């Protein structure tokens, strides 16, 4: 792996302050470094600030403390170097797959023919060949999320931010999507930061899993995933895999249970 630092999260803290309501400290002292081409996941109990951190990295909300650096440069608003995919697809219903995937390029002023050529490449990588002229409502949930990933990649970001991208999918589709995401990653070698509730998803996909504590979110532990690549779903039955999942689960189990009690 290339060891150049792509993303640096430096001393990030976030407190939400609202009028007439108690302040909510969501994140405290988050420091992390992600290398170029690395696949890193964050897991943690509900409310531990995972989505907040992703939104700060994307520049959608400001941090209260600290800074975000991409390739050594501070970023504090959204930019083409970072693309994000959320749980709910954000496709334009009146545009076809190819127009959706090429949308960011067209917005940036690229002629349609060029935007379509690039879009086609990512449609193919995402396994959507043949569906270029379909509309979002004609696709399954899993396919729509693949269009979303293709669209995020088409603008050639340096970092792909994924916020629970498969959470709305059924368990079987989700597993297939994990293998497809791996092959897309294998092909594009993007730097990826994924947020997920599923520990097995994090271990299956990642080079490293960062475990957050309950609110305020802090980094409890970083766990390397030294499992060989390319990975297939059979890996999930290996002892090494199950051992890693178990170790991470033990780190957050008490907090997840406490959260359940609080409703
Ligand atoms: N705009 C906001 N105003 C006030 N509090 C907020 C705001 N956004 C998030 N929070 C609070 O910050 C904390 C962290 O929320 P966040 O959504 O980042 O957690 P999370 O780890 O992504 O949770 P989940 O796993 O359930 O998605 C929560 O207590 C949440 O209620």
94 C-alpha to ligand 1 centroid (Å): 32
Reading the chain (263 residues) residue by residue, the pLDDT tens digits are 447 999 999 999 999 999 999 999 999 999 999 999 999 999 999 999 999 999 999 999 999 999 999 999 999 999 999 999 998 878 999 999 999 999 999 999 999 999 999 999 999 988 899 999 999 999 999 999 999 999 999 999 999 999 999 998 889 889 998 998 998 899 889 999 999 999 999 999 999 999 999 999 999 999 999 999 999 999 999 999 999 999 999 999 987 887 777 65
Q: Determine whether the shortest distance from the Cβ of 12 to ligand 1 is under 6 A.
A: no
Backbone angles phi, psi at 109, to 5 degrees: 100, 10
Q: Which CATH number fits domain 1-76+197-263: 3.40.50.300, 3.30.300.30, 3.20.80.10, 3.60.130.10?
A: 3.40.50.300
Let me know: does 194 contact 205? Beta carbons within 8 Å: yes
ipTM of the prediction: 0.97
CA of 61 to the centre of ligand 1 (A): 12
Look at ligand 1, atom 30, and give the residue with the nearest C-alpha. Answer: 47
Q: Are 119 and 149 a contacting pair, CB within 8 Å?
A: no
Q: Is the CB of 49 under 6 A from ligand 1?
A: yes
- Contacts of residue 216, defined as CB under 8 A and 6 or more positions apart, other chains included, come to 13, 25, 26, 27, 28, 49
The answer to whether 141 touches 167, Cβ cutoff 8 Å, is no
Which of 142, 197, 194 is closest to 170 using CA atoms? 142
Q: Among residues 25, 17, 8, 144, which one has the least CA distance to residue 72? A: 8
Pocket test for ligand 1, best of 18, 23, 24 (most atoms within 8 A of CB): 24
Domain chopping of the chain, boundaries: 1-76+197-263
* Orientation angle between helical segments 141-154 and 112-125, nearest 10 degrees: 130
Q: For the whole model, what pTM was predicted?
A: 0.94
Edge-to-edge strand ranges of the sheet holding 73-75: 24-35, 5-16, 65-70, 73-75
DSSP per residue, the chain: ----EEEEEEEEEEEE--TTS--EEEEEEEEEEEETT-EEEEE-STTSSHHHHHHHHHTSS--SEEEEEETTEEE-S--TTEEEE-SS----TTS-HHHHHTHHHHHTT--HHHHHHHHHHHHHHTT-TT-TT--GGGS-HHHHHHHHHHHHHHT--SEEEEESTTTTS-HHHHHHHHHHHHHHHHHH--EEEEE-S-HHHHHHH-SEEEEEPSSSB-EEEEEE----SS--GGGGGSHHHHHHHHHHHHHHHHHHHHHHHH-
């Amino acid at each position: 792996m290339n060891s150049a630092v792509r993303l640096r999260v430096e001393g990030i803290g976030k407190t939400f302050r609202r009028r007439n309501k108690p302040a909510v400290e969501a994140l405290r002292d988050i420091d992390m470094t992600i290398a170029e081409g690395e696949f890193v996941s964050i897991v943690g109990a509900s409310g531990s600030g995972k989505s907040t951190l992703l939104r700060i990295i994307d520049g959608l909300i400001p941090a209260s403390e600290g800074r975000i650096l991409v390739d050594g440069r501070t970023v504090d608003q959204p930019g083409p170097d970072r693309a994000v995919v959320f749980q709910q697809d954000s496709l334009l219903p009146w545009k076809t797959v190819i127009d959706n995937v090429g949308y960011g390029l067209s917005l940036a002023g690229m002629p349609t023919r060029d935007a379509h050529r690039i879009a086609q490449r990512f449609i193919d990588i995402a396994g959507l060949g043949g569906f270029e002229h379909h509309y979002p409502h004609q696709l399954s949930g899993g396919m729509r999320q693949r269009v979303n990933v293709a669209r995020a990649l088409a603008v050639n970001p340096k970092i792909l931010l994924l916020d629970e991208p498969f959470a709305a999918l059924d368990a079987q589709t989700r597993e297939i999507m994990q293998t497809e995401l791996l092959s897309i990653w294998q092909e594009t070698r993007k730097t990826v930061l994924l947020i997920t509730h599923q520990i097995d998803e994090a271990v299956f996909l990642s080079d490293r899993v960062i475990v957050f504590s309950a609110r305020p979110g802090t980094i409890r532990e970083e766990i390397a995933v030294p499992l060989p690549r390319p990975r297939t779903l059979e890996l999930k039955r290996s002892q090494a895999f199950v051992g890693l999942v178990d170790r991470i689960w033990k780190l957050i189990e008490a907090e997840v249970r406490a959260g359940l009690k609080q409703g």
